[in-house]
Structure 1
Amino acid sequence: MAASALRGLPVAGGGESSESEDDGWEIGYLDRTSQKLKRLLPIEEKKEKFKKAMTIGDVSLVQELLDSGISVDSNFQYGWTPLMYAASVANAELVRVLLDRGANASFEKDKQSILITACSAHGSEEQILKCVELLLSRNADPNVACRL
């Protein structure tokens, strides 16, 4: 992807301050400049890097952090998993990586499934369709009752 195509994509964000008690995530628009781990990090720093990588859609850093032991089914605010965040912004490339790493495509939280989250995502129709197709191909249950 060209650098200009990487900017301005909607992404799930982690905008919390040190004074905050929650693990807040916000939807935003950020530059997707790829990052690399330069040293071994303590688990809390890894989790923060993971959130940032998810925020900017940095697939290579997400893969590196998963390789370093971060759980593909980590829980964030409201109990959402990384796959749910990736689906919420229709990031098909990140959805594929997380599914390839064993993320649960049938996860649901309070009757909000990943499939429903993908269908109501912020993104292009093409990206939403790719995410939905990926989830269905990985056994996402379309029959989960929805709270909507």
Structure 2
Amino acid sequence: MATSTLRGLAVAGGGESSESEDDGWEIGYLDRVPQKLKGPLPTEEKNETFKKALTTGDISLVQELLDSGVSVESTFRYGWTPLMYAASVSNVELVRVLLDRGANASFDKDKQTILITACSARGSEEQILKCVELLLSRNADPNFACR
């Protein structure tokens, strides 16, 4: 008798790369329990924890890190923001949290907008549509020329 494995949320792959085989980004689907900070973290460690929370879709940890002073407009290698990562996997709840915290819905990096990233995201059609609608409701510019 075959057993099926349920997948968790799709997680962002971003554009991170490095010389090592383990660059800290987890790509694919993850089933994780929400994490909590155990105490104050140094800035560098806080940024790495933030990146991992974004890629795993850990909304409560993202909120906790934003509360602790991590910028909602942080940028990672290649200039992607947290909102771009959330939109790239159609994580509507995370997109909403980031927008509520002041993330710029009209941000672009090298003519790649958050709206275009959401439109070409991995995820169900329903999740992509919800994400796009949310971004448009928060002033994402649909007329921005993209690549």
Instruction: Spell out the pairing of 1:29-68 with structure 2 (5 A cutoff).
Output: 29-68=29-68
Q: Rate the CA distance shift 1:24–1:79 in 2: closer, same or farther, 3 A.
A: farther
Give deviations 1:13-54, integer Å, cap 9, x for gaps. Answer: 47767x65xx77563222231000011111111101101101
1:55: how far off?
1.2
Contact kept, 8 Å, 1:25 with 1:77, in 2: the verdict is no
- Corresponding letter in the other structure for 1:115: L
Instruction: Spell out the pairing of 1:125-140 with structure 2 (5 A cutoff).
Output: 125-140=125-140
Contact kept, 8 Å, 2:25 with 2:52, in 1: the verdict is no
Distance 1:140 1:112 in 2: 12
Question: 2:80: which partner in 1?
Answer: 80
Q: Matched residues, percent identical?
A: 82
Question: 1:91: which partner in 2?
Answer: 91
Question: 2:27: which partner in 1?
Answer: 27
Question: 2:71: which partner in 1?
Answer: 71
Distance 2:26 2:35 in 1: 20
- Corresponding letter in the other structure for 2:142: P
User: Normalising to structure 1: TM-score of the pair?
Assistant: 0.86
Distance 1:51 1:72 in 2: 11
Unpaired runs of 5+ residues, structure 2, are: none
What is the aligned-residue RMSD (CA, Å)? 2.1
For the pair 1:9 / 2:9, whether they are aligned, the reply is yes
Q: Rate the CA distance shift 1:143–1:24 in 2: closer, same or farther, 3 A.
A: farther
Question: 1:143: which partner in 2?
Answer: 143
Instruction: Spell out the pairing of 1:93-112 with structure 2 (5 A cutoff).
Output: 93-112=93-112
